[in-house]
A and B are shown apart, each in its own frame.
Chain A
Amino acid sequence: MTTNKTFLGVPVARPKVAFFELSSCEGCQLQLLNNEATLLDFLSLVEVVRFREGMKEASDDYEIAFVEGSITRRDEEERLRVIREQAKVVVALGSCACFGGVNQLKNRFNDLEWVKKEVYGSFPIETQKVKPLSAVIKVDLEIYGCPIKKEEVERIVTALVLGEQIHHPQYPVCMECKARENICLFDLGEPCLGPVTRAGCDAWCPSNRLGCWGCRGPAPEANLSQLQIIMAERGISQERMIDRLECFGGFAAFVAEVKEKKGEPK
């Protein structure tokens, strides 16, 4: 299908787009398929040449690569390098690709051999320390979230196609949470990472009375020292705070810093 789309009289190219998955649940890709109301518009905007969750065909002729998942094996690194060579634009799709995601929880254990044995027993399997895409290749664009917010992806893809600048919110989740007039989770005695986590999710979890787990990583100016005070004042243990900060990997640098201060191994 080729269409000669124009915007304000100017022809707009319909880029070839491929979706890839490394270690992940492929839930972010499913999110895109989930949006039936706008799926056809999305497909008219880009030409999808590879999308395991939605089609049988698979082509290696693409301009934009959306890569979901983190790197846990050597072959994934190689696959990613090939994708990088082919694609003009590599997009890290979701928290796993951006920060390692839930997969990187195993990085907290020093002895990965022990982890392997504990999880897989004697089953032979290769698994290494989890890395985000940016640890292996240059990533052009990151789309945060576990899962990603489909409306946000659509907005970003439209901007990509039109050649517009892509802006991520610079503020934390609180800004969006307040706009939805939610009750602050801290008032309910629940921990929440909203004050330090990058917005853009429209306060998805807090609006459903679940404290933020920081899946979108830190806001550009996350006041983490104040977060520690906020948690401590409310009797929320440091262990519980660290547990939450560790979940998606976006706060890895800060967690390492706190653990070092406590004298714990990283």
Chain B
Amino acid sequence: MLFKVFAASELSRLFEILSVNRIVGPVKKGEDQHGRSLYDFDVVHDIAELHLDYGQTIHSAKNYFLPYRENLCTFTFQDEGSGDGGDWHKEVDYGVYAPLVLFGLHPCDINALNKLDKVLLGGRYPNPFYGEKRANMFIVGHSCSPQPFCFCKSMGTDSAIRGFDLFLTRMDDLYFAEILSPRAFHLLEQIDCHDPDSREHHRYMDLMEAKEALYVAHVDTSDLTKILDLEFQASVWQEWGQKCLSCGTCAQVCPTCYCYGVEEQVDMDFTRAHKEKRLYSCNLLDFAAVAGGHNFRPESHTRLKYRYYHKHRGFVEAFEESLCVGCGRCGQSCLAHITVPEVIASVRASKEEHDDD
């Protein structure tokens, strides 16, 4: 990896050079009732709109690589009057017409993309809709300050070692830049920057050390896959299930939830039809409902449980890492206060209860 250092005042130059493309970054959406700022990712036209000091956004940047709704294909029918069943055409549009710059992703969200890449691009049937977007993406990561609900440290996603072009760490009046791609290297050539000296190395390392101390929330992941299997029948699941609203909020704000449903819709004039993909959630009532009417998970606690099983067990067994990046968004958005650290801790506690027996 190459490192460079530049003055914070140079950032606007960097932004300006990138701004020939569409730039998406953290912007302030408003304030909550206590005056706290609320952030989300959105298209940024002016660097003044970019709030790189954001704690966490409400939603992930998912809409830009896994849209909540996406047209998979359009069918055009030509059967009027033909009498023989007519003809039809299928048109697929990945919807990528220009590169996108994601400016200011935290390590958790960069790691989320790395994980999604494994599922959506690494398998036998890569997802071309996702792949097109990923191939046309320039990612500028940005350092973060851990929030009280962040547990990325526990999930091993507190730093990003790949999956970005450029990663910027703010050091007061300086930016410490990590360069991972030739594009990023050439970009930095266009602004005033220099190789870091040993003093700047130390400043960077001191900063990383100081960050460690800021984590409040933790998840103990040791032997978690086994504990989840052993505690499949634990009563804590029912307790969490009683709280769960089965509303899908957790999945919608999650940077790695990729489950979806597909709906077909015929236009009223019968000349065209669309197949639309909509992100879905395993917490929704009919997630495991099948043809014939049977629902494999009619109770909310079983659905909630399987969400945790996918993130913290199934994915680990398949890819040797958790699907959860510890961004804490699901817990922050959940009106019933169902948070990952508490759920995992309660399942672990039921293991300890058995140990006491």
Contacts and interface: CB of A to CB of B under 8 A. Distances in A.
Given A8-B77, A171-B284, A178 B32 contact: no
A242 interface: no
Contacts of A175: 247-249, 252, 281, 284
B270 A187 contact: no
Given A8-B86, A188-B32, A230-B335, A183 B268 contact: no
Contacts of B38: 183, 187
A6 B79 contact: yes
Contacts of A183: 29-30, 32, 38, 58
A42 B267 CA distance: 10
Q: Which of A172, A178, A194, A225 has the most CB of B within 10 A?
A: A178
B33 A187 contact: yes
Contacts, number: 125
A179 B113 CA distance: 19
A81 interface: no
Contact of A174 (B248, B269, B278): B248
B268 A181 contact: no
A175 B246 CA distance: 9
Interface string A207-233: 000000000000111010111011000
Interface residues of B, number: 46
Contacts of B336: 223, 226, 229-230
Contacts of A145: none
A41 interface: yes
B40 A9 contact: no
A41 B245 contact: no
- Main secondary structure, interface of B, reads loop
B93 to A, nearest CB: 20
How many residues of A sit at the interface, in one of the four size bands? 35 or more
B59 A181 contact: yes
Contacts of B84: 9
A184 interface: yes
A181 B37 CA distance: 15
A77 interface: no
A172 B79 contact: no
A188 B86 CA distance: 54
B249 A174 contact: yes
Interface stretch (A67-75, A82-90, A121-129, A154-162): A154-162
A189 interface: yes
B286 A181 contact: no
A257 B68 CA distance: 37
Contacts of B243: 223, 226, 229
Interface in B237-273: 242-249, 252-253, 265-270
A223 B249 CA distance: 14
B249 to A, nearest CB: 5
A241 interface: no
Contacts of A45: 268-269
A12 B38 CA distance: 51
B300 interface: yes
Contacts of A7: 77, 79, 266, 270
Contacts of B79: 6-9
B247 A171 contact: yes
B68 A44 contact: no
Nearest to A196: B245
A223 B82 contact: no
A198 to B, nearest CB: 11
B246 A171 contact: yes
Given A171-B285, A175-B249, A186-B335, A44 B85 contact: no
A188 B33 contact: yes
B284 A170 contact: yes
Interface in A189-212: 189, 194-196
A138 interface: no
A266 interface: no
A129 to B, nearest CB: 32
Contacts of A172: 245-248
Contacts of B285: 170-171, 219-221
A12 B245 contact: no
B59 to A, nearest CB: 5
A27 B265 CA distance: 26
B339 interface: no
A155 B263 CA distance: 11
B268 A42 contact: yes
B59 A8 contact: no
B252 A226 contact: no
A42 B15 CA distance: 48
Interface in B83-101: 83-86, 88
A56 to B, nearest CB: 25
A181 B86 contact: no
26 contacts: A7-B266, A7-B270, A8-B85, A9-B82, A41-B269, A44-B268, A45-B268, A157-B268, A162-B266, A171-B248, A172-B245, A172-B248, A174-B248, A174-B252, A178-B59, A178-B252, A181-B58, A181-B59, A181-B63, A184-B335, A187-B38, A188-B30, A195-B335, A219-B285, A223-B300, A226-B242
